[in-house]
């Protein structure tokens, strides 16, 4: 549904607050879909393409692989309100994050593993400004370095890597960052802030293979959340 543009029937999810100016690369999926349709019309859904691309991206950047279960069908509608309400905010505390994942059948272990996806990608200044200027559970030199590209006012769309150490490599450095109080988002650092998830962060920081195994399993689990199959969708 994230791929669907607004039409006369519904307002899509691309302009939802967590997605606007954030989710990118729709044109890449369009190109893949066009080529797949030319070779094999009406067989492969965009939903399956997204699931396959997620794995391919992780593998390409040095991460683990997993078996992508296929056979999803595509949604014919999208929901702006669902986009606004169902995606955890970067300002979320640990209990809110756990509740959000639990609501979709994902455990706290899944939450910590899937958050490791933040070992790649970038965030906009507006999503972490409050953390780097107002919070105490943050490495001061890290905060200072990020402030150089994220002023206290303006520059909302300026980007900073979620993992400053190795921003384009899929590894366990995200968890090392958290242990050093260098999580970029408030929601990131909540995973290592004296709560129930501290030990899992420490485990992943010490053992990349354990993180890779758990991340792969959690991706399969997340990919199995209410897929449209049979005669549902198209």
Three-state secondary structure call for residue 225: coil
Is 11 annotated to bind ligand? no
30 annotated ligand binder: no
Distance CA 169, CA 134 (A): 29
- pLDDT confidence of residue 195: 96
The answer to whether 214 is a known ligand-binding residue is no
What residues does 122 pair with on adjacent strands? 161
* pLDDT tens by residue, 42-93: 999 999 999 999 999 999 999 999 999 999 999 999 999 999 999 999 999 9
Does 171 count as an annotated binding residue?
Answer: yes
Q: pTM value?
A: 0.95
pLDDT for residue 26: 94
Task: Name residue 100's beta-bridge partners.
Answer: none
**Mean of all residue pLDDT scores within the chain:** 96
**Does 57 carry a binding-site annotation?**
no
CA separation for the pair 17, 15 (Å, rounded): 6
The C-alpha atoms of residue 40 and residue 33 are separated, in whole angstroms, by 10
Tokens standing for residue 154: 């303006």
Residue 104 labeled ligand binder: no
Report the percentage of the chain scoring pLDDT > 90.
97
Q: Which residues of 188-209 are buried (b: 16+ CB within 10 A; e: fewer)?
A: bbbbbbeeebeebbeebbeebe
For each of the domains in the chain, give its residue range(s) and CATH number, in order of start: 94-220 (1.10.420.10)
Cα–Cα distance, 46 to 52 (Å, whole number): 10
Ligand-binding annotation for 135, yes or no, is no
- The pLDDT, as a whole number, for residue 209 is 98
| Residue 156 labelled as part of a binding site | no
- Which DSSP state fits 73? B
pLDDT digits (tens, 9 = 90+) for 118-173: 999 999 999 999 999 999 999 999 999 999 999 999 999 999 999 999 999 999 99
């Amino acid at each position: 549904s994230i791929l669907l543009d607004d039409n006369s029937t519904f307002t899509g999810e691309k302009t939802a607050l967590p997605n606007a100016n954030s989710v990118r690369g729709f044109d890449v999926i369009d190109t893949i879909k066009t080529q797949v349709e030319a070779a094999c019309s009406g067989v492969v859904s965009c939903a399956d393409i997204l699931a396959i691309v997620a794995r391919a991206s992780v593998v390409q950047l040095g991460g683990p692989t997993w078996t992508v279960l296929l056979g999803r069908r595509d949604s014919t509608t999208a929901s702006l309100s669902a986009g606004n309400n169902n995606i955890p905010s970067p300002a979320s505390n640990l209990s809110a994050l756990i509740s959000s994942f639990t609501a979709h059948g994902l455990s706290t272990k899944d939450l910590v593993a899937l958050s490791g996806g933040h070992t790649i990608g970038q965030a906009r200044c507006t999503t972490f400004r409050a953390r780097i200027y107002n919070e105490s559970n943050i490495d001061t030199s890290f905060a200072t370095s990020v402030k150089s590209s994220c002023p206290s006012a303006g520059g909302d769309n300026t980007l900073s890597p979620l993992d400053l150490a190795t921003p384009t490599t899929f590894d366990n450095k995200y968890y090392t960052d958290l242990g050093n109080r260098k999580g970029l988002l408030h929601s990131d650092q909540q995973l290592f802030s004296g709560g129930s998830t501290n030990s899992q962060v420490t485990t992943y920081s010490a053992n990349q293979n354990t993180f890779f195994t758990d991340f792969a399993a959690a991706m399969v689990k997340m990919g199995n959340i209410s897929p449209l199959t049979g005669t549902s969708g198209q």
